[in-house]
Structures are given as structure tokens and as C-alpha cells.
Amino acid sequence: MKLALVRACTRSACFELQNNTCYTAPAPFRVQLNGQTVLEACGTNVFSVFSLEPGKTYHLEVLATDGDTGTLDFATAAESFFVDASRYGLVNDGVTDNTAFLQAALSTCPPGGTVYVPAGTYRTQSLFLCSNTTLYLEKGCTLLGGTDRREYPILPGVLPCADEQHEAYLGGWEGNPLDCFAGLINVINAENVTITGEGCINANADNGDWYQHIKVKLVAWRPRLFFTSKAKNVTLHGVEVCNSFSWTIHPTYSDGVNILQLQIHNRADSPNTDGIDPESCKNVNIIGDSIHVGDDCIALKSGKLFLGTVMHTPCENVTIRNCNLNRGHGGLVIGSEMSGGVKNVVMTQCLMDHTDRGLRIKTRRGRGKNAVIDGLVFRNVEMRHVLTPFVINMFYFCDPDGKSDYVQSHEPLPLDDATPRLGSLTMENITATDAEYAGCWFSGLPEQPVEKVEMNNVSISFAENAGAGHAAMMCGAAECSKLAIWAENVKEIHFHNVKLEGYAGERLNFINVGSFKED
């Protein structure tokens, strides 16, 4: 058995079994540290240990029920100060407002220190973390979001600069620099920040009015549960996060973001509660997470046209591995706010279970010339009862003009500074069972076709009692059921060992496909 250390913090560490299975380990296993059992009957490829001592070397041993074993030596990070937040006056009754007490502990923690929050339920509003600090939430600890939006600060969408030549963009809503409420946990203009432990961050949004009038700006737009802006080296590890106001984990314009073995749970009917949405970030690791939400599980974004033009910051160098994407509108989604571009994304060893769509790309005219999606690789993924496993949609009918002739016309329009582009997409070693609407739906623009779709060792089978529905959110797309392959406006398609079972009608439905090769 091969083991890898994903990340060691001061008092916790995350590990990964190195194999080819999707999310679930080949056999259950137990974990020992320095000869003592600390975990029993683990079943996932990614696992973590907590309550460790800072600056200490440990010998880790994994013993599987099938007889396989593995060992690894690792050291926790050093810690300068231990700050017990309970000394600042915390009240753990779930009613008393602890915002000032918690913020005092976070703000006064010296560099290299850990703010420790013991077991208990602590109601709080927005908290802001400082550079070179760790927030450790003990098992049984819950940070419970307050329900009154008037108690949350507002992050301005635009901050004027003293030299009057530049602006800073802070708050945002769906890809535009707009005033929004601060998140429950915020990391802004900070670096080397870690949030870890076995506790829970519960935004408690379902007990407020956050899910009412969701398309109306009430003073400011809804907050995120966890938000970063212009941060560097941020790790979110181990904790449970739930009941978000809107998007749950939303890092923006940040470098070095590690989202490791989170349990993310929002109600299935909670609006816009995406799981993890990196926006214009680079060097992002999403490893070992379990996501059950009311919208897309993971969505990679880079703003709408204004920010894509001014900032020109793509979402790039993203690794997604050993995640369980359970329920939600899409498993992995690119866009639709992607005007800065998305590139170099690799997803491997993930399980998608009962999501509406699996691998989904959505964009539209008007996203801009910087809206380039390229270098996407989806490898070794298992899909179970995903309604439509693969969707590329360049006619996505979002925004107020989304159903206009400009966005939805299937006649070629002039290429201009508002035209997005899709490059290469590689999908290999993927199994999808019990699909319903369609196996693949690929719709490029007639004036800017998708460059290349390559599928290797892909198997798609349809549920016997499959229902009918819309595979892609675009005008003119009729409901379908058991549709095998739909492709329009694609320059090159290459299939190698692509198997489809249980479909109805023609296997290949092509319009304006330049080159097709199958072997």
C-alpha cells in the first residue's frame, strides 16, 4: 500500500491512499499513530488525524482488512502560541452573540499561533482571520451563524484607490463587483491561514430569511459561508460545513488554496448553495471532499465580462481528486462566469452520485475573448444515476439577456471581443450507469466551434425506466430520453473504446462536426 501526506498542520494532518479507486478505499482499514489505534474502519482513500501535538514526528501505519499495509513518517508544523478562545469570554449556549469574543481571539493571536475553540455551540456573525494563524475547531464545536442580516457587515464591490487610477474589487455576486454581505468566515489580504479540526461551521441560513427573494438585492447580496479575496496559502481541512447562505466555499483571486476532506451539506432545495466555487484562483487542491448541496457541487469560475477584461485572471492549475459529489445540479461545472478563462484542470478518482449532470461546461456569447477554456482532463471517474453525464453548452441562457437572439442564435455571428472559446477536452476511463436524458451533449458556437473532444475508454449505460428532460439549459433544446450522443459545432471528435448501452434512436447525432474518428 502506498501512502502520501497531503498536508500536515500544527495539530492535524491529511493523508491519501495512492491507488486507482474512486473515492472509496479498496478495503476498510484502521490507522495507528506511534503504535496506538486512532481510527477504526476507515473506508475512503483520503483520511485525517486530529488532536496532534505541534512540532512532533509521528509514525503512521495503515492496516487494511485485506492484509495490505502501509507506513509513513511525518511531522506536524510548529506552533508559536496556543490561544484558548474560551478565555476571551465565549458563551457556548448557541444564543449569545460571540462575534466580538471570537474576533478578539483571532485578531490578537501572534503569528504562528493557533486559536483553539473548544466543544460547544457559539453563535457568531462574520469573522476575519489574520495571516500566519490557525483556527482549530475541536470535535463537538459548532460555529453557528446568526440569522439577522442586519448584523453582518457589507463588503463593498469596489474600493476607490488614492491615486484615482486603480480600483480594488472586494465584494461580488455571480461574477460582478457588487456589494455583498461578508461571509461567516473570511480571509482577505492574508496569507498562511489554516482552518482545521473536527468541528462544524453551520451558517444556519435555513433559519433566517436568506432563502427568500433570492433574486432581489436586500441592502447587499447574500454572503458565502467561507470567502477569500487576494489571499495566499489558505487551507480548509476536516471540518463540517453546512446550511450556507449561498455558495459555500468561495475563494477569489487567491493563490494556493487547499480544500481537504470537508463534509459539505446543504439542503437539496436550498437556492444557489454550490459546494466549492474557486473564482480566478490558481494552484487549487480539492481533495477528499464529500459534497451534498442544492446547486453545483464544484464550479470553477473567473468572473463576467467586466472583471474578465479588467483583471484578466483565469482560474488555473486546479486538481480535484478522490471527491464524493453526491446530489447537486452538476458534479464538476466550468462557468458560466468564466470571462477570465479556465485552464489546466485535472479531475481524477471522483465519484458522482445522483447529480443532474456530471462534467458540465456552460458559457455563452458575451463572456469575452479572454473567456478561454482549455487543458481540461477528466480521468478515472465513476458516475451513478447522473441524468446527463457530459454537457458542453455554449448557449447557456443565464443573465437577463440569456434568451435573446444574440445569445441563442444558431446562425454564425461575427467573431468579436465578446466571443468565448473552448479548446481541448479529454475524458478517459469513465463509467456512467443509469443515465437518463442523454449520454453526451456538445453544443459549440457556429462561429467558434469547440476545438476538440477526446474520449478514451468511456462507458455509458441508460436506466431502463429513464425519464425525459432537458440535457442542456439552452433555447430550442427539446426534452430527450436515452439520447446517446448529440454534437453540434465541434471541429474534432475522437472516440477510442466508447461504449453506449440502452440508448434510443441514432447513436450519433451530429451537426457541423468537422472531423470524427472512432477506433
Task: Assess contact for 54 and 10: CB atoms under 8 A.
Answer: yes
- pLDDT above 90 (res 166): no
What value does the mean pLDDT of the chain take? Answer: 97
Q: Tabulate helix, strand, coil % of the chain (nearest 5).
A: 5, 50, 40
Amino acid at 122: Y
Helix residue ranges, H only, 421-517 = none
289 is catalytic: no
Give the per-residue pLDDT at 264: 98
Confidence label for 161 from pLDDT (cuts 50, 70 and 90): confident
Q: Give percent above pLDDT 70 in the chain.
A: 100
- pLDDT above 70 (res 416): yes
The helices-and-strands tally (H runs, E runs) of the chain is: 3, 43
Beta strands in 98-204 (DSSP E): 113-117, 120-124, 127-128, 133-137, 141-145, 154-155, 158-160, 167-169, 180-181, 185-188, 191-197, 200-202
Nearest partner of 180 among 152, 160, 211, judged by Cα: 152
250 is catalytic: no
Give the per-residue pLDDT at 163: 76
What is the CA 149 to chain-centroid distance, rounded?
A: 25
Beta strands in 336-436 (DSSP E): 342-353, 357-362, 372-384, 388-393, 421-422, 424-435
Encode pLDDT of 230-249 as tens digits.
999 999 999 999 999 999 99
Confidence label for 167 from pLDDT (cuts 50, 70 and 90): confident
Q: How far apart are CA 292 and CA 325, in angstroms?
A: 7
- Of residues 206, 289, 295, 296, which has the active-site annotation? 295
Q: How far apart are CA 8 and CA 48, in angstroms?
A: 10
Encode pLDDT of 122-146 as tens digits.
999 999 999 999 999 999 999 999 9
Contacts 24+ apart (CB under 8 A), 154-163: 154/179, 154/180, 154/181, 154/182, 154/219, 154/220, 155/179, 155/180, 155/181, 155/182, 155/220
CA torsion, ordered 373, 379, 382, 387, to nearest 10 deg: 20
> Among positive and negative, which fits the CA dihedral 231, 186, 132, 38?
negative
Encode pLDDT of 262-290 as tens digits.
999 999 999 999 999 999 999 999 999 99
Give the per-residue pLDDT at 317: 98
Q: What is the DSSP letter of 170?
A: -
Q: In what helix (H) or strand (E) does residue 101 lie, and over which residues does it extend?
A: helix 99-108
Q: 54 by DSSP, 3-state: which?
A: coil
Q: How far apart are CA 386 and CA 432, in angstroms?
A: 7
Q: What is the mean pLDDT of the segment spanning 149-166?
A: 89
Encode pLDDT of 76-130 as tens digits.
999 999 999 999 999 999 999 999 999 999 999 999 999 999 999 999 999 999 9
Residue 471, C-beta contacts closer than 8 angstroms, at least 6 positions apart: 357, 387, 388, 391, 437, 438, 441, 477, 480, 483, 486
- pLDDT above 70 (res 164): no
Q: Nearest 5°: CA angle at 330, between 483 and 24?
A: 100
CA torsion, ordered 128, 130, 133, 135, to nearest 10 deg: 0
- pLDDT above 90 (res 165): no
Confidence label for 513 from pLDDT (cuts 50, 70 and 90): very high
Encode pLDDT of 302-336 as tens digits.
999 999 999 999 999 999 999 999 999 999 999 99
- Of residues 289, 329, 374, 434, which has the active-site annotation? 329
> What value does the CA radius of gyration of the chain take, rounded to a whole number of Å?
23
Residue 145, C-beta contacts closer than 8 angstroms, at least 6 positions apart: 123, 124, 125, 184, 202, 203, 204, 205, 208, 225, 243, 245
Confidence label for 209 from pLDDT (cuts 50, 70 and 90): very high
Q: What is the mean pLDDT of the segment spanning 415-438?
A: 97
Q: How far apart are CA 35 and CA 460, in angstroms?
A: 45
Query: Grid coordinates 464545536 are at which residue?
Result: 141
Q: Give the CB-side neighbour count of residue 114, counting CA atoms within 13 A.
A: 23
Confidence label for 443 from pLDDT (cuts 50, 70 and 90): very high
Domains of the chain: 3-75 (2.60.40.10), 79-286 (2.160.20.10), 296-519 (2.160.20.10)
Amino acid at 225: L
Give the per-residue pLDDT at 212: 93
pTM of the model: 0.98
